[in-house]
Amino acid sequence: MVGLVIPTVVGALWVGSWMGAFRGFIWGGMVRLFVVHHAFWSIGSIAHSFGTQPYPTSDYSGNSFWLAIPNFGEGWHNNHHAFPGSAYFGLEWWQVDIGGYVIRAFAWLGLITGVKCPTTAQKESKRRKSEKRRSKEITGEIPDGD
């Protein structure tokens, strides 16, 4: 409710009328909620259908740069499924992870502790498993998609 009341009050104070309150409610409240929810809900459908899979998982989760930007890093969805305990979605230096940057800043400021992230050895171990599985799929030892 606060996410709807605050934009309404700000719109009313800014414009000084009921129309300002209405516009604040619509644009700062309802449209904002619509856009944010659909952006994050898209991860569940798009990131489980498209994207790269550098790590083996029991689902079809994929990494997508184009979803990572508007979703503050959640587009690195295969990373998330491969390492669900990690505080970061972007596990490589080039993977933009806005949420991860905020977490790093909080840790640097001492506001949070115990932040977990997979080590280089853990990431390489998972990648090797993925490569072995792909080679078995190519040779027919494992049916594709199983």
Residue given tokens 């840790």 in the structure block: 107
Contact (Cβ atoms closer than 8 angstroms) between residue 71 and residue 43: yes
Count of domains in the chain?
A: 2
Does residue 114 sit in helix, strand or coil?
coil
pLDDT at position 145: 55
Interacting residues of 30 by C-beta distance below 8 A, sequence separation 6+:
4
Tokens of 7: 């934009």
Q: Name the residue range of residue 70's domain.
A: 49-146
Amino acid at 6: I
pLDDT at position 129: 76
What is the reported pTM?
0.74
pLDDT at position 39: 86
Task: Note down pLDDT in tens along the chain; length 146 residues.
Answer: 999 999 999 999 999 999 999 999 999 999 999 998 998 888 988 999 899 999 988 888 999 999 999 899 999 999 999 999 999 999 999 999 999 999 999 999 999 999 999 999 999 998 877 666 666 666 666 665 55
Residues 31 and 61 in one domain: no
Residues 40 and 102 in one domain: no
